[in-house]
Amino acid sequence: MAEIGHYALILALAVAIAQGVLPVLGYWRGDQRLLGIGVSGAQTQFALVVLAYAALSLAFVDNDFSLTYVASNSHSQLPLIYRLSAVWGAHEGSLLMWLLMLTGWGFAVSLSSRRLPPDIAALVLATMGAISVGFLLFMLATSNPFERQFPVPAEGRDLNPLLQDPGLIIHPPMLYMGYVGFSVAFSFAMAALITGKLDLAWARWTRPWTTTAWLFLTMGITLGSWWAYNELGWGGWWFWDPVENASFMPWLVGTALIHSLAVTEKRGVLKSWTVLLAILAFALSLLGTFLVRSGVLVSVHAFATDPARGVFILAFLTIVLGAALLLYAWRAPRLVSDGAVQLVSREGLLLLNNVFLVAAAAAVLIGTLYPLVIDALGLGKISVGPPYFNAIFLPLMVPLAVLVGLSARIGWKRAKLGEALWSLRWVALTTLIAAVLLPYVLERSFAWLAIAGTALSVWLMIGALLDVTHRVRSRRDRWQGLRSIPAATWGMTLAHFGLGVWTLGVTYAGLFSVEKDVRLGPGQSAEIGAYTFTFQGTEHREGANYQSDLGTVFVERSGQPIATLNPEKRLYPSQRSVMTESAVDHNPRRDLYVALGEPIGDADWALRLYYKPFMRMVWFGGVLMFFGGILAASDRRYRLERSALNAPVTSAQTAAT
């Protein structure tokens, strides 16, 4: 069965080469039949990769330890669900998943290609085919998951226990969907550069694909953060680790791209900038892959690394990005904007938003690569930690938050700043009052950082709603007004509101968290604020493929019982590794978090206790952005047939950003 998977990959490579080359030839010669190979190629290639993926999954289900990859990452005692998710548990399989998603996106584009002109569709699919040639070669040459080994081991080495967690089942696929999804925007950008056509229709084709990739990336990052919090037992939710940064940089640039596409669609300006962002978003996705898998940076996520892989990805980066940016340097000057941008206008503010987002991405990139630069220059080894990132990144987020509220009240083309500001006076006043009161009411604090954070968060949340309220008020029949609001506007509102919720979470969890390391024996207790944590001791448990010490901690608040927490320490004998399963009692207002440290003496344990206000809001904000993305991508106007596309659009349809 494994050989079928291997053959399927080789066939897929042949198909990908045809898909990458022939449509371009067809475009050059004006040959419709060759253009059509884009669509059929994308579909065949997807089917072949699905086959390969199914073959590998089957090998995991059957515990076929003759495959080196299966033997290294599975175990006969591993529960079935984790055997299925173990497929993407390490380098080779996760590349196959990358490829599955890449061809899946290609397949999706090929299905909707009826709505595109044949030459655009063919060039987009050819670009995606070319990208997949690179990944297929990479897999077949350096990272083949179907490699057999002899003698066949009797037992597998088991999946890394860190990855045996429900969060890890969905986190990587979501993240990869996001990373790979930017290849579609990238391919559209290539098509625009080659044909020299970048109009309203192009922006409208590209937007839903970009938004969809972005929403998956958003969810992937959110899940990753939630998993790190639950599973790693460090009590943090973001560590500025190189691998986290690798997913965050494309997200920042992707967010900028979404906004600049809105400007390009509505006003026909910023064309070459939009194209550049589309290239950069995918470039950063590829760079992330390189950083994670080549071992140039130290990270908690490090995949098994191999210099040959690093060289290959570097060569691949050079070819793909070199070609794309050369094409850009050559063709982008032809993408003429249909007008100029005034700073005081919605597009002006969106351009400002882009500047801040890209600057933030650049700051993260510099921080991530800085240790490498210093090392390359022979100046020593250093590591750049959270202090740098927090000091650089957070100030860049402040103007972004301010812009959200402001841009809701500023019109396209040309607007009067004074009028807009005046119309925001009640919002500003409400924000100020809330900002002074909330930190005191919630945490008895007048800290200026808390006030500033609350102000931004409230401003964002109210500002997000302004577009909707304005549209409702401008109609005589309010109900009609509400119903006429397009899905894209609802999506934007939800995503911006989510950003406000996220800001609230970051502010309070960041400023008012309390952390305590204590040594407790059975029956002893420790206090954080009004909460009393009483340790009841631990008992020994046998899990499916692990042994554990299960602790019990009663939590009371002013004498009232609130929760019983069961933090756990697991030993996975097959990998000789110890895992900490923290226990959390949460509600929207606060998290109470207990992690089991080491045993001390006969029955005493080191315990780590946390109180984290509004912790859930950090992820809830991400989830809101995710659903906002879904709403925005589902907007009716993206599904119009080709004939209707270049017809004039009503203001209700386009005004959404």
Partner 1 sequence: MLRFAIPVVVLLGLLALLGIGLRLDPREVPSPLIGKMAPAFDLPNLDGSARITPLDLQGRPVLVNFFASWCAGCQVEHPVLMKLAREYGVEIVGIDYKDTREAAEQWLARHGNPYRIIVADALGQAGLDWGVYGVPETFVLSADGRVVYKQIGPMTDAAWRDKIAPLLAQGSASR
Which of the stretches 88-96, 157-165, 536-544, 574-582 binds partner 1 when contact is defined by CB under 8 A? 574-582
Q: How far is the CB of 466 from partner 1 (least distance, A)?
A: 36
Q: Could you tell me if 551 and 527 are in contact, meaning their C-beta atoms sit under 8 angstroms apart?
A: no
Instruction: Residue 447: count other Cβ atoms within 10 Å of its Cβ.
Output: 13
328 binds partner 1 (CB under 8 A): yes
DSSP state of 148: B
List of residues 6+ apart from 393 with CB closer than 8 A: 360, 363, 364
Output 433 or 600, the one with its CB closest to partner 1: 600
Cβ-based nearer residue to partner 1, 107 or 605: 605
User: Measured between alpha carbons, how far is 33 from 69 in angstroms, rounded to an integer?
Assistant: 41
Torsions phi, psi for 601 (to 5 deg) = 65, -155
Q: Which two tokens stand for residue 651?
A: 């203001």
If the CB atoms of residues 80 and 377 are measured against partner 1, the closer one turns out to be 377
Residues 218-277 that bind partner 1 (CB under 8 A): 272, 276
CB of 306 to partner 1, least distance (A): 11
Beta-bridge partners for 539: 550
Number of residues that bind partner 1 (CB under 8 A): 43
Angle between helices 307-331 and 166-195 (to 10 degrees): 40
Instruction: Give yes or no for residue 333 binding partner 1 (CB under 8 A).
Output: yes
For the CB of residue 298, give the shortest distance to partner 1 in the complex, in Å: 5
Q: Does 376 bind partner 1 (CB under 8 A)?
A: yes
Q: Does 600 bind partner 1 (CB under 8 A)?
A: yes
Shortest distance, position 570 Cβ to partner 1, whole Å: 13
Helices vs. strands in the chain: H and E counts, helices first: 21, 10
Is the CB of 320 or the CB of 495 nearer to partner 1? Answer: 320
Type and span of the H or E element at 542: strand 531-542
Please identify, among the stretches 31-39, 53-61, 326-334, 341-349, the one whose residues bind partner 1 according to the rule CB under 8 A: 326-334
Mutual angle of helices 91-111 and 166-195, in 10-degree steps: 50
318/480 with CB nearer partner 1: 318
**Of the residues 429, 447, 530, 578, which one makes contact with partner 1 according to CB under 8 A:** 578
Q: Is the peptide bond before 151 cis (omega within 30 degrees of 0)?
A: yes
Contacting partner 1 (CB under 8 A), which of 30, 151, 559, 601? Answer: 601
Whose Cβ is closer to partner 1: residue 47's or residue 325's? 325
Question: For residue 355, how many C-alpha atoms fall within 13 Å in the half-sphere facing its CB?
Answer: 10
Stretch that binds partner 1, among 69-77, 93-101, 370-378, 506-514 (CB under 8 A): 370-378
Quick check: 576 binds partner 1 (CB under 8 A)?
yes
Q: Let me know: does 458 contact 500? Beta carbons within 8 Å.
A: yes
Strand partners, 519: 606
CA–CA dist 407, 29 (Å, integer) = 46
Q: 95 or 279, CB closer to partner 1?
A: 279
Residue 359 one-letter amino acid: A
- Does 311 interact with partner 1 (rule: CB under 8 A)? yes
CB 533 within 8 A of CB 527: yes
Is residue 318 within the footprint of partner 1 (CB under 8 A)?
yes
Site string for partner 1, 269-308 (x = CB under 8 A): ---x---x--xx--x---x--x---xxxxx--------x-
Distance CA 207, CA 636 (A): 12
| Residues 153-192: x where in contact with partner 1 by CB under 8 A, - otherwise, as a string | ----------------------------------------
Residue 607 belongs to what H/E stretch? Answer: strand 604-613
Tell me: does residue 540 bind partner 1 (CB under 8 A): no
User: 């906004």: which residue's tokens?
Assistant: 259
Element of type H or E holding 540: strand 531-542
Choosing from 28, 81, 322, 514, the residue that interacts with partner 1 (CB under 8 A) is: 322
Decide if residue 523 touches partner 1 (CB under 8 A). no
Chain length of the chain: 657
Binding site for partner 1 (CB under 8 A): 272, 276, 279-280, 283, 287, 290, 294-298, 307, 310-311, 314, 317-318, 321-322, 325-326, 328-330, 332-333, 369, 371-373, 375-376, 381, 576-578, 597-601, 606
